[in-house]
Amino acid sequence: MPVRRSPRRSARPRRRTVRLVAALLGALTIAGFGANPAEASSYPVVYSVLAGFSGALAPNSPPPGANNWSCRSAAHPVPVVLVHATFANQADNWATLSPLLANNGYCVFTFNYGGPAFLGTVYGLGDIPTSARQLGTFIDQVRGATGAPEVDLVGHSQGGMMPRYYLNFMGGASKVRNLVALAPSNHGTTLSGLVTLARMVPGLLNATNATLQSICLACVQQEVGSSFMNKMNSVPDTVPGVNYTVIATRYDEVVTPYQSQFLSGPNVRNIVVQDKCALDFDGHLGMAFDHIALREVLNALDPATARGTTCTFVPFDLGG
């Protein structure tokens, strides 16, 4: 009696299974398994000051995308340190820019300086030279962790000016490639004329500052004509080897006149957002959440991939 052989199984299902497994492994790799941490990010980016409100509740927590100490980026090997403004913190000031940079393949780092925190929430209030030393310490931590010889700095308001003290008076130039400043208090502020007005009344400014400096010494130091500002203005605006970008708004109500933010010297670009888009009515507070200003931040950090501005309406001091 003939032996009946079982029908031979087709090899096609097996090959299909192998291809499926290979495709899944490839998808997992693209999704981030084994990929560079800086290049695998996909964080929501909200262009609004509302994005920073949660930072008031967790001021000592880094914003999304920041402080991944194992981060390495082949596309952007220079890490970016974000320096917050006066009466701000790392979480609220950088709730938009930090995830934006991480999504673009940057290693991003944030910290708080100028404490103790007012009401346990906001920083940037203390003596500015002391804050500059804190910045230098943090830069060294980032360099040590990443192995990068230099960092890029992006700052807002005091955070755009204070690093210049580190560069000019603390020998920090060899550790910094770019300083990109959003609405910086580079040459002091009249606070929309209030400082000038107070000087016209004998003793008024001194009396006001005596009270103010107990809460915010950095506020007094940033006034036009202060001893701190006189020291800053006694030396050239820039130091060799560092590229500077200033991004300002004509509607700045805090650092006034807005032209005082501009720097002079080699390797300087001074940008007014309204020259990029006349529909941008943002003021001082909204600059860290303004898509036009932040597009210029990306352009400054990597000119090789610079793109033009998408001009849309941006309301005053709300970002957008």
pLDDT, tens digit (0-9, with 9 covering 90-100), for 263-320: 999 999 999 999 999 999 999 999 999 999 999 999 999 999 999 999 999 999 999 9
pLDDT digits (tens, 9 = 90+) for 27-74: 322 232 223 345 557 999 999 999 998 888 899 999 999 999 999 999
Q: Which two tokens stand for residue 179?
A: 């300083």
List, edge to edge, every strand of the sheet that includes 80-83: 108-110, 80-83, 151-156, 176-182, 243-248, 268-272
CA end-to-end span of the chain, whole Å?
85
**What radius of gyration do the chain's Cα atoms show?**
24
pLDDT digits (tens, 9 = 90+) for 96-131: 999 999 999 999 999 999 999 998 899 999 999 999
Q: With H, G, I as helix, E, B as strand and everything else as coil, classify residue 236.
A: coil
Q: Which amino acid belongs to residue 116? A: P
pTM of the shown model = 0.86
Q: How far apart are CA 50 and CA 53, in angstroms?
A: 5
User: What one-character-per-residue DSSP string does 53-65 give?
Assistant: GGGGT-TTSPPTT
Distance, CA of 65 to CA of 71 (rounded, Å)? 10
